[in-house]
Amino acid sequence: MPIRISNRVRRFALPFLFILVLAALSGCTPHHNQSTFGAAGPIAERQKDIFVLIFWVAMAVFVVVEAAIIAITLAYRRRHVEGLPEQMHGNNRLEVAWTIAPAVVLAIIAIPTVNLIFSLDREATAAASNLEVVVTGHQWWWEVEYTGEDVVTANEVHIPVGTAVRIVLHSEDVIHSFWVPKLAGKVDLIPTRANQLVVEATEPGVYFGQCAEFCGEAHALMRFKVVAHEKDDFAVWLDGMRRPALPPAPGSPAAAGQAIFAGNCSMCHSSQTTNPELARSERDTQGVRQEQFLKDLEDSAIIAAPNLTHLATRLTLGAGVRDLNEGTLAAWIRDPNDLKPGNRMKKLANVYRTQGLNDDQINQVVAYLMTLKPGPAGQAPAGQPAGGAPAGDPVARGKQLFTSAGCSGCHATTPDNIVGPGLGGVETRAATRKPGMSSDDYIRESIVNPAAFLVEGFPPVMPANFAQTLSADDLNALIAYLKTLN
């Protein structure tokens, strides 16, 4: 009895199949931001060629096999009812043929594939002499560092066009995978080892990247951009990254924001690595932040975080989850989880465990962050007071500065340690730390040059720019106030 296909199945199955095929094919459009078919550079092009080769080989196999199945089905279909067909066993010629044919097919695929894998690795090594970018994966963002250039940034990789660039890949936590579909295939970032890949863009433009390895809660929101510049523009970009931002005008909302940033954000985020020394030590600083986090996974108030130097020049926010502008920045600072559920800033930053910042403070921090862009060439950061505290009694002034300059975000006025050591009793401690040095000098040096005598057991995260943002009077007032604490 022939099988009956019910009308209902017939009515729905065909259109359904049609939609399915259409949906599958739409994945092949080269215009999509993350389509490997829209290769935008010679490396992606060569990888695509391998794909096309494999596709056509597979297509040939498909056609031959399907044709054989159909031909045999028709030729040997049951025509007479009685008896079994002729029984046979073994056919040397056929068996040799279907052993050799797949081996030949696999060789056609394997030789160019393996060849390309090895030559791209050699080219990646050679590309180091053009430009090397070190990318470190974090849950769930990307740290980006330019070898030998004293430039560190995050979530954006800038490259010159027409240049093969070596990308070295590390991970600070779990396995991630670096994938810019239009520029090159993906390569994993594996803890404790360095991988590499080579990318090259033919035309200037912005290319979409994405972590391609499931790496935890916010994995799908771990994106990035590769920005390809004309060679001259790339040099301008690099140069800009090394030029300090103009300091906020005294008394402006941005100046207030800078102080809030010092107290609430700077333990995790560097924002001024335009200075070569700070840029060079940023990797170490991040390492220490990460160690502090690993010591206390649930309650740490500190973790390695995106470098915010010249944040205002970036295209996106939160590892590519939103375009960056004042509105999205304010939304991010108000509640990072709104834009990126699961991120570590919301979980660990102390401000979200306490009352949080109010709208005015958020706007001030946004105003400060929007000043983070290259200042005019040849300008040195000008000195100016951060707090605008009133003159008069130095201790009262110091007490006010302690909050307005951001010290209170990291230091308790009791002996209890938060991010930094508790400052209760700092005067007595000073004498034992640096015998022969006056406590005033010890405290002053600790403030203006935090790296000079690091207190053991604490991360080197105290901002290094108080010498610029605090006046001599401010410093004296702070010292006078700190000496009253016990």
Residue 265 CB, shortest distance to ligand HEC, in Å, is 3
Q: Which one of Cu ion, ligand HEC, none interacts with residue 269, CB within 5 to 8 A by kind?
A: ligand HEC
Output the six-digit token pair for 431: 């004498």
Determine the number of helices (DSSP H) and then strands (DSSP E) in the chain. Answer: 15, 12
Q: Is residue 244 part of the contact set for ligand HEC (CB under 6 A)?
A: no
Q: Which one of ligand HEC, Cu ion, none interacts with residue 176, CB within 5 to 8 A by kind?
A: Cu ion
Q: Is residue 41 part of the contact set for ligand HEC (CB under 6 A)?
A: no
Query: Left, alpha or beta for 45 (phi > 0: left; psi -120 to 50: alpha)?
Result: alpha
Output the six-digit token pair for 269: 């985020």
Q: Is residue 317 part of the contact set for ligand HEC (CB under 6 A)?
A: yes
Q: Is residue 141 part of the contact set for ligand HEC (CB under 6 A)?
A: yes
The piece of 15-23, 79-87, 182-190, 310-318 that touches ligand HEC (CB under 6 A) is 310-318
User: Does the CA dihedral 103-108-113-115 come out positive or negative?
Assistant: positive
Longest Cα–Cα distance in the chain: 117
Q: Which one of ligand HEC, Cu ion, none interacts with residue 237, CB within 5 to 8 A by kind?
A: none
**151, 152, 256, 461: which one binds ligand HEC (CB under 6 A):** 461
Residue 2 CB, shortest distance to ligand HEC, in Å, is 60
Question: What is the distance between the terminal CA atoms of the chain, rounded to a whole angstrom?
Answer: 98
Q: Is residue 180 part of the contact set for Cu ion (CB under 5 A)?
A: no
Site residues for ligand HEC, window 369-428 (CB under 6 A)?
405-407, 409-411, 419-421, 426
**344, 397, 399, 483: which one binds ligand HEC (CB under 6 A):** 344
**151, 167, 303, 331: which one binds ligand HEC (CB under 6 A):** 303
Q: Is residue 157 part of the contact set for ligand HEC (CB under 6 A)?
A: no
Q: Which one of Cu ion, ligand HEC, none interacts with residue 348, CB within 5 to 8 A by kind?
A: ligand HEC
Q: Is residue 176 part of the contact set for Cu ion (CB under 5 A)?
A: yes
CA distances for 391 relative to 163, 251, 474, angstroms:
57, 15, 9
Describe the crossing of helices 326-334 and 359-369 by its angle, rounded to 10 degrees: 130
| DSSP per residue, 47-74 | HHHHHHHHHHHHHHHHHHHHHHHHHHHH
User: Does the CA dihedral 45-46-49-50 come out positive or negative?
Assistant: negative
Residue 369 CB, shortest distance to ligand HEC, in Å, is 6
What 49-53 contacts at long range (C-beta under 8 Å, 24+ apart), as own/partner pairs, is 50/112, 50/113, 50/116, 53/108, 53/109, 53/112
**39, 135, 215, 331: which one binds Cu ion (CB under 5 A):** 215
The piece of 96-104, 163-171, 180-188, 348-356 that touches ligand HEC (CB under 6 A) is 348-356
Which residue matches tokens 């302690």?
402
Residue 211 CB, shortest distance to Cu ion, in Å, is 3
Which residue matches tokens 């002053």?
444
Total binding residues toward Cu ion, as defined by CB under 5 A? 4
| DSSP per residue, 313-377 | G-SEETTTTEE-SHHHHHHHHH-HHHHSTT-HHHHH-GGGTTT---HHHHHHHHHHHTT-S---T
136 or 343: CB nearest ligand HEC: 343
Q: Is residue 364 part of the contact set for ligand HEC (CB under 6 A)?
A: no
How far is Cα 289 from Cα 268, in angstroms, rounded to an integer?
Answer: 7
Q: Is residue 269 part of the contact set for Cu ion (CB under 5 A)?
A: no
Q: Which one of Cu ion, ligand HEC, none interacts with residue 211, CB within 5 to 8 A by kind?
A: Cu ion
Which residue matches tokens 């022939």?
2
- In this structure, are residues 186 and 177 in contact, taking their beta carbons and an 8 Å threshold? yes
Query: Left, alpha or beta for 47 (phi > 0: left; psi -120 to 50: alpha)?
Result: alpha
Residue 340 CB, shortest distance to ligand HEC, in Å, is 6
185 or 318: CB nearest ligand HEC: 318
How far is Cα 406 from Cα 412, in angstroms, rounded to an integer?
Answer: 12
Output the six-digit token pair for 433: 């730390």
Q: Which one of ligand HEC, Cu ion, none interacts with residue 215, CB within 5 to 8 A by kind?
A: Cu ion
Residue 204 CB, shortest distance to ligand HEC, in Å, is 22
Question: Across-strand partners of 222?
Answer: none
The strand ranges marked E within 100-246 are: 132-138, 141-146, 151-154, 156-160, 165-171, 176-180, 184-189, 195-199, 205-211, 223-229
The piece of 47-55, 187-195, 279-287, 297-305 that touches ligand HEC (CB under 6 A) is 297-305
Q: Which one of Cu ion, ligand HEC, none interacts with residue 127, CB within 5 to 8 A by kind?
A: none
Q: Residues in the site for Cu ion, rule: CB under 5 A?
A: 176, 211, 215, 222
Q: Residues in the site for ligand HEC, rule: CB under 6 A?
A: 140-141, 154-155, 218, 261-269, 301-303, 305-306, 308, 311, 317-319, 332-333, 340, 343-345, 348-349, 351, 365, 405-407, 409-411, 419-421, 426, 429, 433, 443, 446-447, 450, 454-455, 458-463, 466, 478
